[in-house]
Structure 1
Amino acid sequence: MSDFNKDEYLNDLPDMDDLSGQAAPAAASAADGAAAAAAAAAAGATQEGAAQPAAAQSQENGDSAAADGADKAGAADGKADDTLTPLGQAKKEAAEYLEALQRERAEFINFRNRAQKEQERFRQHGIIDVLTALLPALDDIDRIREHSEMDDSFKAVANKIDKAFEKFGVEKFGEKGEDFDPTKHDAILHKPDPNAEKETVDTVVEAGYRIGDRVIRAARVVVASPQN
């Protein structure tokens, strides 16, 4: 076994300065690589962070534009009123009140006209009911007038009755010698007459009554007709 020579072993060891010189570049290279990796990671994170706020901002801008459009559409009328001066606003309100008043007035006039027509119709129905109930008595009065003399008191009562019906618009019709009209005459008999040139009323059996253009009862008459 050879003897261990301490001096030779120590001389063979590399110098510390050489070791430090070789390790420094490797450490520096490793440090530079780590720094570059960290910088790249930081740059990526920065770009990703910048991209996300940009997308969020774009979406927020779109939503804001839609909301603004809805608000503008809904507030168009409000802005129109806001642009009016106090005098203009007062004139607009006055015009609206006038229009509403005119509509109410037109509706009231229509209602009043309908009410008047209904009232007149009910009034005529009442008169017709009374006249229809008194027709037999009126026919008897006419027969007495035609076939016998009436004393003054009875004649006065008959005249009052006639005037009362005239006051309510009742018109008595049917006279001997007038032209025959089937719309207001009810012919109970046609008799030939050599002197007649057209159909005429020869005898009034019962007088007719009407209110305005409405015939309450047609006059019952005997008609004289030409022979041919």
Structure 2
Amino acid sequence: MVNLGKNGEIVHSKRPIALFGGGEIGPHDLNLALNRVNGAVAADGGAATLIDSGRVPDAVIGDFDSLAHAYLARIPEDRLFPIREQDSTDFDKALRNIRAPLVLGVGFLGGRLDHQLAVLNTLVCHQDRPCVLLGAREVVFHAPPRISLSLTPGDTVSLFPYQRATGRSSGLEWPIDGLVLEPDGRVGTSNRALAQVTLEIDRPGLLVMVPRDALDAVMRAFASEQTGRWPARAG
């Protein structure tokens, strides 16, 4: 069940929910996401995709500059949550106002590169909000303190630091033990899974990218409640 306006947050759910953006959404992405979650929230223009499919979003969050009036008129007023400030993206506005075990983001990867970079920046800024982004070829998430993934041997596992990061790994062809990963230094692109992959990360700021087919493995890992969670950033 998705609760609105509870405990100071716009959306509160005890189960994973999907968050839809106004970017590229593949022909099977909507059903793939909805079959794995408890509710559907839209970030501004992402509401159009849901409405076109015959589903009214449980909540719409954003500055509403990308959603046509024809769509707004079809959404109950008590499901509309405008945030008019222009200092953040609609993805940021939505993610920081959702409390759930996991958010599955659809329609945020692909398209303009600056938009994608802003989305990835938001994942790092809201390190206490577990979120997995579904792309055309991969899924992306901010590495929690620890995670164990059942991947297929040979799967690409890329680690990209938005901040300085260190940690340990097992099941990777090139372990990260003893390495310092930095956005202006060493990065971890195009590593490969040998078997079960386990990561233990010392501090937030590391993004993980694995094949799209690994979505269920990633969601199971977060659902296991063994990942830990970073605290909210100060300020």
- Relative to its length, the structure with more helix (as a share) is 1
- Relative to its length, the structure with more strand (as a share) is 2
TM-score range, shorter chain: under 0.3
Larger Rg: 1
Structure with larger RCO (C-alpha < 8 A, sep 6+):
2
